[in-house]
């Protein structure tokens, strides 16, 4: 879920509860808006290599936008380094120019550095991009998944199907509510729910060309926290799954 940066904590939490309530009657349609996790989380022994925090966000000329970035209509390659391995994402602005513009701009300025994958639903999606509450070393337990950069983007129409490797923009149940949170689809079967006529409008803007084995390893991490809104299974990884850097290249 993504809420305006200047909302009070009380309003954030109230909105989270309202969105969860609204989706309670649509159990058959998994929702990519996460449920906050409790504090503190259980811990487990590390099963992946230790990670080092990445650099802070880059200075000008690639400072992070303070308002919605311009639409991106071209193509770009984003190499996303995590402590589980690298994923290479082909961004295609023709699929969703507003979502692509946000993802490319925020990847370029380092916004995703040290941000964790805060939500995992095995066989469905892995989700990240909350740079407000899901960035190490200061995680906002109870608020992860509700943060954003303080601006939102216009919705893009969905013109293709959700399949394994699809990268799409997360949003709330409100129109034009996406910003920086994104998810990666783990299985073709996600089309049944994400592509349903009654589903939310999650703009597709690219796909993973290399590294879906990394996504699968992330999806295998033990989970905890509160039940996920998509079906009652906890969705918070119990060990950090961290984006340490994103490198953008364009033709």
Q: Do the domain assignments include residue 100?
A: yes
Q: Do the domain assignments include residue 4?
A: no
Over 92-121, what HEC string results?
A: ECCCCHHHHHHHHHHHHHCCCCCEEEEEEE
Check: CB of residue 168 under 8 Å from CB of residue 199: no
How far is 88 from 115, CA to CA, in rounded Å?
17
Residue 101: band (very low, low, confident or very high) from pLDDT cuts 50, 70, 90: very high
Q: Do the domain assignments include residue 2?
A: no
Q: Which of 172, 193, 195, 168 is nearest to 182 (CA)?
A: 168
Which residues, in sequence order, are CB contacts of 77 under 8 Å at separation 6+?
Answer: 88, 89, 90, 91, 209, 248, 249, 250
Check: CB of residue 141 under 8 Å from CB of residue 13: no
Examine the pLDDT at 44 and tell me if it is beyond 60: no
| Per-residue pLDDT at 57 | 60
In the chain, % of residues over pLDDT 70: 75
Residue 237 phi/psi, 5-degree rounding, is -55, 135
| Per-residue pLDDT at 90 | 98
Residue 216 phi/psi, 5-degree rounding, is -65, -40
Distance of CA 68 to the CA centre of its chain: 17
We report the CATH number of the domain holding residue 181 as 2.40.100.10
Residue 25: band (very low, low, confident or very high) from pLDDT cuts 50, 70, 90: very low
Q: Do the domain assignments include residue 97?
A: yes
Residue ranges making up the domain that contains 215: 9-249
Q: What is the pTM of this model?
A: 0.80
Q: Do the domain assignments include residue 235?
A: yes
Q: Do the domain assignments include residue 198?
A: yes
How far is 182 from 231, CA to CA, in rounded Å?
20
Instruction: Provide the domain count of the chain.
Output: 1
Q: Do the domain assignments include residue 1?
A: no
Check: CB of residue 87 under 8 Å from CB of residue 214: yes
How far is 33 from 110, CA to CA, in rounded Å?
23
How far is 200 from 90, CA to CA, in rounded Å?
23
Q: How far is CA 82 from CA 57, 58, 89, 204, in A?
A: 16, 18, 13, 22
Burial class (CB in 10 A: 0-12, 13-18, 19+), 13: middle
179-198 per-position pLDDT tens digit: 999 999 999 999 999 999 88
Q: Do the domain assignments include residue 108?
A: yes
Residue 31: band (very low, low, confident or very high) from pLDDT cuts 50, 70, 90: low
């Amino acid at each position: 879920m993504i809420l305006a940066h200047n909302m009070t904590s009380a309003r954030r939490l109230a909105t989270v509860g309202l969105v969860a309530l609204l989706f309670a009657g649509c159990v058959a349609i998994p929702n990519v808006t996460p449920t906050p996790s409790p504090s503190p989380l259980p811990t487990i022994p590390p099963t992946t290599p230790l990670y080092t925090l990445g650099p802070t966000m880059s200075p000008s000329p690639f400072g992070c936008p303070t308002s919605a970035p311009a639409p991106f209509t071209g193509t770009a390659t984003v190499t996303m380094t995590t402590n589980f391995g690298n994923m290479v994402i082909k961004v295609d602005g023709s699929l969703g120019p507003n979502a692509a513009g946000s993802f490319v701009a925020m990847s370029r300025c380092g916004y995703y550095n040290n941000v964790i994958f805060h939500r995992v639903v095995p066989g469905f999606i892995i989700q990240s991009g909350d740079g407000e509450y899901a960035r190490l070393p200061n995680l906002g337990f109870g608020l992860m998944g509700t943060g954003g950069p303080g601006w939102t983007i216009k919705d893009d129409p969905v013109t293709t199907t959700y399949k394994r490797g699809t990268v799409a923009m997360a949003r709330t149940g409100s129109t034009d509510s996406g910003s920086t949170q994104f998810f990666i689809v783990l299985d073709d079967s996600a089309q049944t729910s994400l592509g349903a006529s009654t589903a939310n409008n999650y703009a597709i803007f690219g796909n993973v060309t290399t590294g879906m084995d990394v996504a699968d390893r992330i999806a295998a991490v033990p989970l905890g926290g509160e039940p996920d809104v998509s079906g009652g299974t906890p969705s918070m990884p119990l060990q950090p799954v961290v984006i340490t850097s994103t490198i953008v290249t364009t033709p």
